[in-house]
Copies of this chain bind each other. A is one copy, B any other.
Amino acid sequence: MADTSSAPRHIRLTSHAGGQGALPIHWGAATAAERGPVVGTTTNRGHRNVIGTHSGSYSVYRALAVAAGALSREHKADLTNTSPTDQIGPYPQWSDPGKIVSLDPWGAAVADVFATELAAGYDIRPTIAVTKAHVVLPEVIEAMQKGRISADGKILMRGGAACVTKAAIEPVWWLPGVAKRFGCSEANLRRVLFEETGGMYPELVTRSDLEVFLPPIGGQTVYIFGNPRDLANPEVELTARVHDECNGSDVFGSDICTCRPYLTHAIEECILGAQRGGVGLVSYSRKEGRALGEVTKFLVYNARKRQVGGDTADQYFARTECVAGVQDMRFQELMPDVLHWLGVRKIHRLVSMSNMKYDAITGSGIEVGERIDIPAGLIPADAQVEMQAKKAAGYFTPEGAPDADALKNTKGRAL
């Protein structure tokens, strides 16, 4: 491993308008050709038409690879054979102004729709990848053993593997649209993104001509059970969950919340729905600990468990606010974008109790039928604190919200 800069080169501290050969982006245009490609690669700076670069957070690791001498600055991805296994869209929502502002609807199809620009030397990267997979969950196998679900050889195999189409999606933010979602001016959004990150990307405030930002954050993954084209057909029953990452439960099975049990219940519902001729969808967003991050989450756990009177449901949100300043930073305002990318117009069965998710989905123009709460038997004892606190705060519940006494008396384990 060695230094990669053999000769001194000029460092440009911030970029200036008027790059050589940068193509315009007309966000929300009806066709890919009119919209233009998102060029966030660093191989030819003059071609860049966005702030930031690809792969979200992993752009930092890419830089490390260059620093270590393992990766050439000039590497361009060979996209042979990488195109989507299933074509998604285009759908009318892609050009409905403001329906999609946080991902690039053309991001999976760049090798196809921007073939001319690629041939002309533009280094255009997919921001979405679509593939097929078999997923095997112990909870699904248990459901088969208990007779709740059975193999059909197409959606669910005898060994317990479910067949899915899945897509990974990187964030691509059209700043004017993101600002509108949050009810602030674009200028204010740009300024706060710059200042409150300690000065990330001065272009946010100096380059108002660049309207697209590739933020260094995690994206999302969608898992589709059944035919992806059916997602756009409101006549086909759609079972869906929009899930926010919780590593402690999703991977390690922590019993302080219901994240994994609700997720695996949703997968079971998706499989059942697909088996009766419908389609299932799980969207998984990288928003650990309500987008506060895991350090803040664990600090809050300690504050909850140690407060006078113990970990009670009536103090659940207050402890988060003390540490983080807010109860939640997930901002479901951007979440429906992925549903519009998939052409969704109606969710027949929404496997979520969150009023914030429900309001964001219906507010974006998607109809929601039934709401499916988590079966009582799947709620770990220690997670009742969170569950009761959320019901009192407006979560959907068929039995009605708990009263003040019930909240005080719902108490979790001590440390």
Interface residues of A (CB under 8 A from B): 1-5, 11, 13-15, 40, 42, 48, 50-53, 55-73, 75, 77-85, 126-139, 142, 161, 166-170, 179, 182-185, 188-189, 191-203, 205-206, 214-219, 221, 223, 247-248, 250-256, 260, 263, 284, 286-288, 291-303, 305-307, 322-326, 329-331, 380, 382, 413, 415
What residues of chain B lie closer than 8 Å to A3, measured between beta carbons?
184-185, 188
Decide if A200 touches B183 in the complex (CB within 8 Å).
no
Nearest-CB residue, chain B, relative to A414: B132
Question: 7 smallest A-B Cβ distances: which pairs?
Answer: A75-B325, A129-B298, A138-B138, A168-B294, A63-B196, A53-B198, A1-B183
Least CB distance, A299 to chain B, in whole angstroms: 4
Decide if A323 touches B79 in the complex (CB within 8 Å).
yes
Decide if B85 touches A302 in the complex (CB within 8 Å).
yes
Known: A184-B1, A184-B2, A252-B137. A326 touches B296 (CB 8 A): no
Decide if B139 touches A11 in the complex (CB within 8 Å).
no
What residues of chain B lie closer than 8 Å to A214, measured between beta carbons?
198
Report the bound CA distance from A59 to B292 in whole Å. Answer: 8
What residues of chain B lie closer than 8 Å to A70, measured between beta carbons?
326, 329
Nearest-CB residue, chain B, relative to A260: B251
What residues of chain B lie closer than 8 Å to A132, measured between beta carbons?
305, 415
Report the bound CA distance from A205 to B199 in whole Å. Answer: 13
Decide if A294 touches B13 in the complex (CB within 8 Å).
no
What residues of chain B lie closer than 8 Å to A84, measured between beta carbons?
302
* Copy total for this chain: 2
What residues of chain B lie closer than 8 Å to A248, measured between beta carbons?
133, 135, 166, 221
Decide if B42 touches A198 in the complex (CB within 8 Å).
yes
Report the bound CA distance from A110 to B303 in whole Å. Answer: 16
Nearest-CB residue, chain B, relative to A243: B251
Decide if A255 touches B303 in the complex (CB within 8 Å).
no
When the two chains form the complex, which single residue of B72, B184, B197, B415 contacts A59, counting CB atoms closer than 8 Å? B197
Given contacts A61-B291, A200-B200, list 15 more A-B pairs with CB under 8 A.
A11-B195, A58-B293, A58-B329, A59-B196, A60-B200, A68-B182, A82-B303, A82-B323, A85-B415, A128-B295, A134-B382, A167-B298, A168-B295, A170-B293, A216-B216
Least CB distance, A62 to chain B, in whole angstroms: 6
Decide if A53 touches B14 in the complex (CB within 8 Å).
no
What residues of chain B lie closer than 8 Å to A61, measured between beta carbons?
217, 287, 291-292, 329-331
Report the bound CA distance from A198 to B64 in whole Å. Answer: 13
Least CB distance, A73 to chain B, in whole angstroms: 7
Report the bound CA distance from A196 to B52 in whole Å. Answer: 9
Nearest-CB residue, chain B, relative to A63: B196
Nearest-CB residue, chain B, relative to A323: B77
Nearest-CB residue, chain B, relative to A213: B60
Least CB distance, A208 to chain B, in whole angstroms: 13
Report the bound CA distance from A179 to B64 in whole Å. Answer: 9
Decide if B216 touches A137 in the complex (CB within 8 Å).
no
Show 12 residue pairs from A and B whose CB-CB distance is below 8 angstroms, ordered by the A residue.
A1-B183, A11-B205, A53-B198, A64-B182, A64-B193, A64-B329, A72-B325, A80-B303, A131-B301, A168-B295, A170-B295, A197-B216
Decide if B196 touches A42 in the complex (CB within 8 Å).
yes
What residues of chain B lie closer than 8 Å to A415, measured between beta carbons?
85, 131-132
- The residue among A168, A307, A415 with the most chain B CB atoms within 10 A of its own CB is A168
Report the bound CA distance from A2 to B184 in whole Å. Answer: 6
Least CB distance, A320 to chain B, in whole angstroms: 11
Nearest-CB residue, chain B, relative to A189: B67
What residues of chain B lie closer than 8 Å to A251, measured between beta carbons?
250-251, 260, 263, 284
Nearest-CB residue, chain B, relative to A85: B415
Decide if A218 touches B57 in the complex (CB within 8 Å).
yes
- The residue among A71, A217, A306 with the most chain B CB atoms within 10 A of its own CB is A217
Report the bound CA distance from A71 to B328 in whole Å. Answer: 10
